[in-house]
Amino acid sequence: MASTFLPSASSSATFRTLIGAAALGLAGALAPVFPVQAQQAAPADPSAGQPLSHGPASVADLAEGLLDAVVNISTSQTMGRSGGGQRPAPRPDLPEGSPFQEFFDEFFNERDRGGEGGRRVQSLGSGFVIDAAEGIVVTNNHVIADADEIEVNFADGGKLKAELVGTDPKTDIAVLKVDPSLRELTQVQFGDSATMRIGDWVMAIGNPFGLGGSVSIGIVSARGRDINSGPYDDFIQTDAAINRGNSGGPLFDMHGRVIGINTAIISPSGGSIGIGFSIPSQLAVSVIEQLREFGETRRGWLGVRIQPVTDDIAESLGMGHARGALVAGVIKDGPVDDGTIQPGDVIIRFDGKEVRAMRDLPRIVAESPVGKAVDVVLIRKGEEQIVKVTLGRLEDGEKLAGNGEGDDPAEEAPVATAAVLGMTIAELNDEARASFGIAPEVSGVVVTEVAEGSVAAERGVTAGDVITEIAQESVSSPQEVMDRIAALKAQGRRNALLMLASKGGELRFVTIRME
């Protein structure tokens, strides 16, 4: 049986797929810990500040001081029987005295009480208190998504209703609030996940399969895991047992500090096989602070489409080795739609942080505040340059693109210019017509630049040519060109047939290799 990724929340309904986990960003510097208020969990420090060379003899004292801060999250939700937005079946018109009358009356009366065939379903997850004075509880977004009611259950059997403060599907984090005047709460504090090393001991506490207060221990198996759940994947992998119901629970270091939020497992059976994933505190703290302050995230936005730098691309650009993120397009009306960053640029450093691979850039931009002016080091036409950009706000970019919640403008927003098949292309507007002397009757997408030595250059494509069709389908925007090329590649095609128009309108066909 093939292994599958699963969220580690437990539900009586169908299990949700991994993490509702877009362009780029998160605002706010990462705080090392939350301030300690009210009663603070006081875990024992068995190593007295020294590294454990042979593993802990026991974690009993450590667990005892933390159990009261870890809670179970119970949610309920009304789900329609009809499903798919269909109308419920009508009540049948039975003859008077029918032997089935009593049966149908009972069935349809129960259905109507549920609200158009609704039925109540329960789900269970985990969470932990981070602020006892304010009653703040952290869990996963997928644990409470679509819930009608949320209840926090404590280790001593106590229960409190919770209200939702804010959620972030892209990192799968949710912040809840309970009334702290109704009971004494115990809180835990965050540690710095950046200091964790592969092989360090960790402890998970949670609610696997509804069994509250379960403790498991293991090590950090890997760091920086990308499991394709969202744009900011940077998971801690651990072999500490994590199962369904552990979602939203804490992963502790051996000093009792939260260095991760348990989120997902990979498993062929649905049970733990020693491969679990936690959101690192380095990322989570910033998100939680924003949700507490604003009820939403406020991410920075660079406004570019990016793709990986392959060995072939690195060689063609004279880079020596593959690194950085290649700018494939610039979002129209975005923060850098002024020529600051151009298609074909390779971003290798952002705000003082190295961009080793494409997936690093979204996360690094995510740590920069909206409106901050940052230095970006890039390679343009074989030369390293430094440009300064001012970040916009991702949520504004999403509205501009009209993508809807949870989508990534870096993938969906229309582009003003783009780099494709060795050409830089742009909208054929009045400015472009005047610049290249293109006749009014010519329509399509204008080629503004052709890379020297590229296949397009070998085929005689020059600046000022206009792409009118690709594979016998007309194109009118850079986005349509990129989408058409992507579709051809998905079909296994190796070459693209382009119809080009000269400045005066003469047409010709060229075939360009897409490999």
Which residues are catalytically annotated? 142, 172, 247
Query: Residue 151: enclosing H or E segment and its boundaries?
Result: strand 149-153
Cα 73 to Cα 362: distance, rounded to the nearest angstrom: 31
For the chain, first and last CA: distance in Å?
Answer: 34
Q: DSSP H helical segments within 114-191, as ranges?
A: 141-144
Residue pair 474/481 in contact by the 8 Å Cβ criterion = no
- DSSP characters for 325-376? EEEEEEETTSTTTTTTS-TT-EEEEETTEE--STTHHHHHHHTS-TT-EEEE
Cβ distance 311 to 317 under 8 Å? no
Beta-strand ranges (E) seen in 343-480 are 346-350, 353-354, 373-380, 383-390, 392-393, 415-420, 423-427, 445-450, 466-470, 473-474
How is residue 114 annotated by DSSP?
T
Backbone angles phi, psi at 162, to 5 degrees: -120, 145
Strands (E), 451-504: 466-470, 473-474, 495-501
Contact 331, 392 (CB under 8 A): no
Any residues with CB less than 8 A from the CB of 280 and at least 6 apart, and which? 193, 194, 223, 234, 235, 236, 259, 260
What are the angstrom distances between the C-alpha of 309 and each of 94, 355, 358, 514? 69, 11, 7, 16
Tokens in use for 137? 């509880």
**What does the DSSP assignment read for 217-234?**
EEEEEEEEE--SSSTT--
